[in-house]
Amino acid sequence: MDLLKDMAEALYKGDAAKVTALVKQALDAGMSAGEILNNGLIEGMNVVGKDFRDGILFVPEVLIAARAMQAGMDLLKPLLAESDVQPMGTMVIGTVKGDLHDIGKNLVAMMMEGAGFQVVNLGTDVPAEKFVEAAKKHNADLVGMSALLTTTMVHMKDVIEAFQEAGLRDKVKIMVGGAPVTQKFAEEIGADGYAPNASAAVDKAKELLGKN
Ligand code: B1M
């Protein structure tokens, strides 16, 4: 168990090399990929999320921790794919059409992965039809949209309408976020959820899928 505790701590500190070494050690010791993921990596990322929310950690530390998480995940992913560990859910995420900002969106994507979600990151400048196509292809439970410009946040509504037109609106929960986006705006455009930051996004996603 100490191995997993050390792993969570190394992840919190953003020590990717140590996380990698500990994941290998845990696998050699016969632990399952699911156990390492849930009790080592996700455990560490949960603390990162809480401390980010509470203003103890800031964006650079979270990005470094997320990189360490990714290093561990790279080793576990092929094993998880073979095993029967079910993700918390699948999220398709992207920055809306016309918008090239992706730092916050990637942070949300990484925190979601850290919480055990499968994330399909569509990148930036994503048109409505691409969100719909990807949600269909990956059988997504959640669609996440990010916008950093007042001129592009309006496209979030277009995406929601595209899901309605495709007859898929009832199949997915839609979450929005980004600096100019508010709870009020989310309600106005008919989104299911809004989150002000990456750790709140994880909480909201779990809430929307009834996984709390
Ligand atoms: Co731009 N930019 N930018 N920019 N940029 C802003 C957003 C701006 C506020 C700066 C300013 O004027 N003070 C302003 C927008 C004004 C407005 O619309 N009201 C602006 C502008 C005007 C522009 C250009 C138009 C500038 C120009 O060319 N004249 C241009 C537009 C390009 C385009 O997109 N088409 C532009 C370009 C750029 C760069 C390319 C140089 C660069 C982006 C690089 C990149 O992302 N790869 C950039 C940057 C870095 C910024 C600022 C400085 C920082 C944004 C950022 O990364 N924040 C920004 C000013 C600012 O915000 N202080 C600014 C850190 C990030 C962690 O926070 O993205 O808010 P944020 O994400 C948070 C939450 O919002 C939330 O969680 C994240 C983590 O906590 N969140 C979600 C985000 N998405 C979510 C989704 C969710 C839930 C939560 O659910 C799905």
Tokens of 129: 């039809």
pLDDT at residue number 31: 95
Exposed e or buried b for every residue in 165-185, given b needs 16+ CB within 10 A? Answer: ebebeeebbbbbbbeebeeeb
pLDDT at residue number 49: 84
Complete DSSP assignment for 116-135: T-EEEE--SSB-HHHHHHHH
pLDDT at residue number 81: 67
107 in Cβ contact with 57 (< 8 Å): no
pLDDT at residue number 42: 84
Q: Residues lining ligand 1, judged by CB closer than 6 Å?
A: 59, 93, 98-105, 107-108, 144-146, 148-151, 175-180, 195, 197-198, 201
Q: Which of 83, 106, 138 is the last residue of a domain?
A: 83
| Residues 139 and 109 both lie in one domain | yes
Q: How remote is the CA of residue 95 from the centroid of ligand 1, in Å?
A: 11
Give pLDDT tens digits for 113-156.
888 899 999 999 999 999 999 999 999 999 999 999 999 999 99
> Structural domain of residue 42, as residue ranges?
2-83
The CA distance from 8 to 42, in Å, is 8
Exposed e or buried b for every residue in 69-99, given b needs 16+ CB within 10 A? Answer: bbbbbebbeeebeeeebeebbbbbbbbbbeb
Taking 70 as the pLDDT cut, the residues of the chain under it are 1, 81, 83-84
| Residues 119 and 198 both lie in one domain | yes
Helix/strand number for the chain, H first, E second: 10, 5
Q: Which atom of ligand 1 is nearest to the CA of 145?
A: 91
Bridge partners of 194, per DSSP, are: 176
pLDDT at residue number 110: 83
Q: Which atom of ligand 1 is nearest to the CA of 93?
A: 91
Q: How remote is the CA of residue 56 from the centroid of ligand 1, in Å?
A: 22
Give nearest CA residue, ligand 1 atom 72.
104
| Residues 155 and 203 both lie in one domain | yes
pLDDT at residue number 53: 86
For residue 69, give Cα distances in angstroms to 32, 51, 169, 194, 202. 17, 16, 32, 25, 16
Give nearest CA residue, ligand 1 atom 28.
100
Q: How remote is the CA of residue 74 from the centroid of ligand 1, in Å?
A: 29
| Residues 164 and 190 both lie in one domain | yes
pLDDT at residue number 113: 87
Tell me how many domains the chain contains.
Answer: 2
Question: What's the CATH number where 37 sits?
Answer: 1.10.1240.10
pLDDT at residue number 141: 97
Q: How remote is the CA of residue 58 from the centroid of ligand 1, in Å?
A: 16
Tokens of 5: 């505790």
Mutation test residue for ligand 1: of 148, 151, 152, 194, the one with most atoms within 8 Å of CB:
148
pLDDT at residue number 33: 87
Q: Which atom of ligand 1 is nearest to the CA of 144?
A: 91
